[in-house]
Structure 1
Amino acid sequence: MTQLNRRDALKIGGAGLVTAAALPGVAHAAPSPFFRHGVASGDPLPDGVVLWTRVTPTADSLPGSGNGPRTSVTWQVATDADFRRIVRSGSSATGPERDHTVKVDVRGLAPGTAYHYRFVLDGVASPAGRTRTAPAPDADVTSLRFGVVSCSNWEAGYFASYRHLAARDDLFGVIHLGDYLYEYGTGGFPGDGGVVRQHAPAHEILTLADYRRRHALYKTDPDLQALHAARPWMVIWDDHEVANDQWSTGAENHDPATEGPYAARRAAAHRAYAEWMPVRFGPDERIYRALRFGRLADLVLLDLRSYRSKQVTGIAVDDPARTITGDAQMVWLKDELSGSRARWRLVGNSVMISPVAIGAVAADVLGPLARLLGIPSGGIAVNADQWDGYTADRRELLGHLHDNRITNTVFLTGDIHTSWANDVPLHAARYPGVPSVATEFVVPSVTSDNIDDFLKVPPRTVSLAAEAVLSATNRHVRWSELDSHGFGVLDLRRERARMDWFFLSDRTRRDATAARAATFTTASGSQRLTRSWL
């Protein structure tokens, strides 16, 4: 199979414009089919960052096809946008065995420094990206801002949230809390808006080729490409990167009788994710990890799918043998929180940790009567796929924060397609008579369906009553909004952590506007939220 030369490549055309400056031997300012899926960076360290791209060296080297030659791609990191001051460079081999993706963990960079990067194949440069290394471990950082997003379903709308974040010049990076893509076939997860744009492949994805094609589809979105190129991302997976409501050995949206062994599907999904995302993996596909930002913040990113017990309901959620983190990750998490010397401890948490109960007071108030009535310790849970379904792990973690006087812990959460600002109490049923040990910011979905979409009702109708009930029966819930789509911006300073929620005008429009809808702040040492009115 013959590799395309630059002249043939330019004849074919394709997505992505070359943005590099004029350097000898590099083509510029012309469409290139080599880099159709953009560039990305992630997991910034004080001395390094992960760089990513995907190349299409021949016309038949399409994602998931298994076709195309092995090839070598050059990468360059510079301190200037013209790439005249290149500080690191090298080459990386790729081929069909890794779906022609390129991922390089560049080291030897200076801390707290902005860099430009690009890739070059056959004299043609990729779009240029911009990234940044983390501050030095002892750096006295005064402030940081992060975009915070989750739940981006291609079929449900356009990624205008990414466009608005890419346009900002005040963000260090982006924290994506899971459901970066969805596994369903076309129409498998519709809401009020139906299918805005169709998934490819059109069927539910099961195989390695399927997952590769779905990742490739998402990375053709221009707003997603723009945000990846603009800032480093820190990502964690939730369930839809494999299948809905997954646990360690299965998933709600997987039928072994018709879809084969779950282990094979999960392995395919994880491999495609590792190939297509700018993320570091540890041994045994370990994706939970910690990133540090000077003395201002530590960020721990959790994997709440790979080790969890199967979801249950009723009093079974209190079984101490059940886990959402797995034993090893829980030990690691507690050690990270205890050992942190940063002002703020951020927890990238894919499902909500704050309890949400309805219909009954919690079992610890009723005493022995609760077990006779079958009431779980946190009350009757609304969603047992969250930490509400794993109450022993939650008690252990929150007890650890309380007993060790660990302050300034902020959970950053996605998954439920809605917006919440929560105090995280030691015992929710007795709150506010007992302390709050942390706070939680839950960001809305980028596009995925929420209350009004599921019920096919106008926004701000049914949801208003639901929000009132939630606040009345869960006194630690300071605010919730169940209808809107958008993103969050986390603003950290030594004296406080603040989240601004931004809502889109219409998820089904590429040109949707975004407006700030709410702001909540937690003062250092308080473990409680206050609202700032717009």
Structure 2
Amino acid sequence: MTTPPRPSRRAVLAAGATGAAAVAVTGSPLPAQAADARAFAHGVASGDPRPHAVVLWTRVTPTAAATPGSGRGPRVEVGWEVATDPAFRRVVRRGRAVTGPWRDHTVKVDATGLAPARWYWYRFTWAGRRSRVGRTRTAPAADSTPGRLRWGVVSCANLQAGWFSAYRHLAARDDLDLVLHLGDYLYEYAPGEYGLGRDNVDVRAHRPAREIVSLADYRQRHAQYKTDPDLADLHARLPWVVTWDDHESANDAWRGGAENHQPAEGDWARRRARAHRAYDEWMPVRLSGSAALGDGTRLYRRLRFGRLAELSMLDLRTYRDQQVATPLVDGEVGDPGRSITGDAQLAWLRESLTQRRAQWKLVGNPVMISPVTFASLPGALLDPVADVTGLLPRDGAPYNVDQWDGYTADRREVLDTIADRGVRDTVFLTGDIHSAWACEVPFDTGSYPLPPGRASGAVEMVCTSVTSNNLKDITGTPPRTTSLAVEAAIRADNPHVKHLDFDSHGFSVLDVTPERTQMDWYVISDRADRRAGATWSTSWRTLAGTQQLRRAAAPVGPR
């Protein structure tokens, strides 16, 4: 079907599509009415909070034929409004946005002119119909000194591998400022691939029923995830800050290809461009600093939270060189000509760490930066561990070369910057590896255990997966059996690894104060159970100025 012509950028701006056309509040609001779940079937979301602005998102379905990825449906105008109360008695910003099939009928606006560190409620309207109400929060003023930040932290949510109970439990909390998603928001696989456990059982089958490759495919997969009720509730409850890892495009992606991209699937650059386009359309995120589409694909960015913390979100897929094949043979992991960040992003990250804008330097890091060797793992467990972590086969000391261990020159530059500039209070917040880790990031692994007076370069806290398989799932063994030997061996080989849990799924809560940063890990009872419960597992903290980790006796309490 022929796609209607896309309106000019000037016309879109005039209609308020980027929030630039937000207007003073005048006129009467629509009569009170319930949300229309058919017109706004994919919910609402917000993200990338700034002190005076936040990104708002929805999708409208103007006709029955205008399904995600269909390329069908008319051009429409959607209204949006922001209020200081959930009943919308005090609307403070209002605007209109143009959408249509050229952007899959998604709406993304940058609502500006807001007050710092404040809760707001927002909604969208079209043809007399309303979306559900969303709640969001702006960031603290740049020159303020917040006493605390508290975030939910998640990654690796594979719809085929289980229910999103972790999202449900986060949405039920009333003490969070935002959700930090560290990658693998969705998965590209076909039904029957990479489901639950050893047999890859599909708890829920992906749509479309194939590996996603085309733009329509990626749009449909985003739409399917957005209709999960637990994910939709968490999006409506809190603003999100996100980055992509590999499965938003294809497994083990690098700048020139991916493990899960074959020649028969076409040109990699075109496939990645489709994935990035759909991500820009469907996620409440600014690419290249803008909520408008087509302004660029730069995802790495900074968000300030007063003088307490600055969050640097990394993109470790778009610019990286290909993963090495035999690291213990060719030595390429340390080649300074190879990069996981790309030169521009590495320089940007070093600048983020050395500026004195905020006390805590938080880094949203899609793959682990802490060095990990596995020399003493039992041979029978190498293959299952490789399945979870991406390790290479039995070289005697396998590495996960998909993370920073495969690009050690970049890691050395980061750590040298920290050492040379006297950087303190750096915390890497990481996903990807489907397990819980608390690590000190050493300047030199040979210095461990650290003598009195010595410190590491940073600390790293890694959240579990929401649903994606971990070690017990791959081995088919009960929790806290086979994994115990693996965890003990890894900690023995790597004394800077303070905590490791290869068995759990769930979410984390990060709590930041001027005195310390703490992460609490929560585990769900059964990802195959739609009503799974959640329990606290463990907590680790780093005191300001120490670059070391200590176990905390309990999770953070009520605010």
| TM value normalised by structure 2 | 0.87
> Which whole-Å deviations, capped at 9, do the CAs of 1:317-367 have from their partners, x for residues lacking one?
11111100000000111111111321211000000000101228xxxxxxx
Please tell me whether residue 202 in structure 1 is matched to residue 242 in structure 2.
no
CA distance in 1 between counterparts of 2:476 and 2:265 reads 31
Check conservation: 2:53, 2:110, Cα contact below 8 A.
yes
Check conservation: 2:196, 2:203, Cα contact below 8 A.
no
Which one of the candidate residues 403, 409, 412 is aligned to 2:420? Answer: 403
Check conservation: 1:356, 1:381, Cα contact below 8 A.
no
Matching of residues 413-428 of structure 1 within 5 Å: 413-428=430-445
**Map of 2:387 onto structure 1:** none
**Map of 2:374 onto structure 1:** 358
Which one of the candidate residues 334, 346, 351 is aligned to 1:318? Answer: 334
CA distance in 2 between counterparts of 1:468 and 1:333 reads 33
Worse overlay, 479-488 or 453-462? 453-462
**Map of 2:267 onto structure 1:** 261
> Which whole-Å deviations, capped at 9, do the CAs of 1:473-514 have from their partners, x for residues lacking one?
001000100011000000111100000000000011111100
Aligned-partner residue type, residue 183 of structure 1: E
Please tell me whether residue 136 in structure 1 is matched to residue 152 in structure 2.
no
CA distance in 1 between counterparts of 2:332 and 2:517 reads 36
CA distance in 2 between counterparts of 1:340 and 1:95 reads 44
User: Cα offset for 1:382?
Assistant: 2.7
User: Cα offset for 1:284?
Assistant: 3.5
Please tell me whether residue 305 in structure 1 is matched to residue 317 in structure 2.
yes
User: Cα offset for 1:36?
Assistant: 0.3
Aligned-partner residue type, residue 351 of structure 1: V
SS of equivalent residue, structure 1 residue 310: coil
CA distance in 1 between counterparts of 2:296 and 2:268 reads 17
SS of equivalent residue, structure 1 residue 246: coil
Check conservation: 1:34, 1:55, Cα contact below 8 A.
yes
User: Cα offset for 1:71?
Assistant: 0.2
Matching of residues 17-32 of structure 1 within 5 Å: 25-26=30-31, 28-29=33-34, 31-32=36-37
CA distance in 1 between counterparts of 2:261 and 2:32 reads 47
**Map of 1:504 onto structure 2:** 524
**Map of 1:97 onto structure 2:** 102
Matching of residues 451-530 of structure 1 within 5 Å: 451-530=471-550
CA distance in 2 between counterparts of 1:24 and 1:44 reads 26
Check conservation: 1:355, 1:381, Cα contact below 8 A.
no
Aligned-partner residue type, residue 32 of structure 1: A
Which one of the candidate residues 338, 348, 361 is aligned to 1:345? Answer: 361
User: Cα offset for 1:30?
Assistant: 5.8
Aligned-partner residue type, residue 125 of structure 1: R
CA distance in 2 between counterparts of 1:501 and 1:42 reads 23
**Map of 1:107 onto structure 2:** 112
Distance 1:524 1:45, change over 3 A: same
Please tell me whether residue 334 in structure 1 is matched to residue 350 in structure 2.
yes
**Structure 1 runs not aligned, ≥5 long:** 2-22, 361-378
CA distance in 1 between counterparts of 2:338 and 2:108 reads 36
Check conservation: 1:32, 1:124, Cα contact below 8 A.
no
Aligned-partner residue type, residue 426 of structure 2: T
> Which whole-Å deviations, capped at 9, do the CAs of 1:35-75 have from their partners, x for residues lacking one?
00000000000010000000000011000000000100000
Please tell me whether residue 43 in structure 1 is matched to residue 63 in structure 2.
no
Check conservation: 2:117, 2:139, Cα contact below 8 A.
yes
Please tell me whether residue 533 in structure 1 is matched to residue 539 in structure 2.
no
Please tell me whether residue 77 in structure 1 is matched to residue 82 in structure 2.
yes
Check conservation: 2:182, 2:365, Cα contact below 8 A.
yes
Matching of residues 147-186 of structure 1 within 5 Å: 147-186=152-191
**Map of 1:276 onto structure 2:** 282
SS of equivalent residue, structure 1 residue 436: coil
**Map of 2:13 onto structure 1:** none
CA distance in 1 between counterparts of 2:105 and 2:356 reads 38
Check conservation: 2:53, 2:112, Cα contact below 8 A.
yes
Aligned-partner residue type, residue 230 of structure 1: R
CA distance in 1 between counterparts of 2:143 and 2:181 reads 26
Aligned-partner residue type, residue 397 of structure 1: V
Distance 1:381 1:318, change over 3 A: farther
User: Cα offset for 1:532?
Assistant: 1.8
> Which whole-Å deviations, capped at 9, do the CAs of 1:382-439 have from their partners, x for residues lacking one?
3110100000000000111111110000000000110000011101132234630100
CA distance in 2 between counterparts of 1:471 and 1:343 reads 30
Check conservation: 1:381, 1:388, Cα contact below 8 A.
no
SS of equivalent residue, structure 2 residue 218: helix
CA distance in 1 between counterparts of 2:455 and 2:517 reads 19
SS of equivalent residue, structure 1 residue 183: coil
Identity among equivalent pairs (%): 59
Alignment size in residue pairs: 494
Check conservation: 1:70, 1:96, Cα contact below 8 A.
yes
**Map of 1:371 onto structure 2:** none
Aligned-partner residue type, residue 201 of structure 2: G
Check conservation: 1:408, 1:526, Cα contact below 8 A.
yes
User: Cα offset for 1:533?
Assistant: 3.4
CA distance in 1 between counterparts of 2:138 and 2:430 reads 24
Check conservation: 1:142, 1:494, Cα contact below 8 A.
yes
CA distance in 1 between counterparts of 2:36 and 2:117 reads 33
Aligned-partner residue type, residue 356 of structure 1: V
Please tell me whether residue 237 in structure 1 is matched to residue 257 in structure 2.
no
Aligned-partner residue type, residue 292 of structure 1: R
Please tell me whether residue 252 in structure 1 is matched to residue 264 in structure 2.
no
**Map of 1:211 onto structure 2:** 218
Which one of the candidate residues 206, 220, 225 is aligned to 2:232? Answer: 225
CA distance in 1 between counterparts of 2:117 and 2:318 reads 33
Check conservation: 1:302, 1:348, Cα contact below 8 A.
yes
Which one of the candidate residues 59, 78, 98 is aligned to 2:64? Answer: 59
Distance 1:55 1:386, change over 3 A: same
CA distance in 1 between counterparts of 2:37 and 2:365 reads 38
Check conservation: 1:27, 1:123, Cα contact below 8 A.
no
CA distance in 1 between counterparts of 2:108 and 2:356 reads 29
Distance 1:127 1:404, change over 3 A: same
User: Cα offset for 1:454?
Assistant: 1.5
Check conservation: 1:27, 1:125, Cα contact below 8 A.
no
Check conservation: 2:35, 2:130, Cα contact below 8 A.
no
Check conservation: 2:40, 2:59, Cα contact below 8 A.
yes
**Map of 1:145 onto structure 2:** 150
SS of equivalent residue, structure 2 residue 280: helix
Please tell me whether residue 124 in structure 1 is matched to residue 129 in structure 2.
yes
**Map of 1:382 onto structure 2:** 399
CA distance in 1 between counterparts of 2:303 and 2:503 reads 32
CA RMSD of aligned residues (A): 1.4
User: Cα offset for 1:27?
Assistant: 5.6
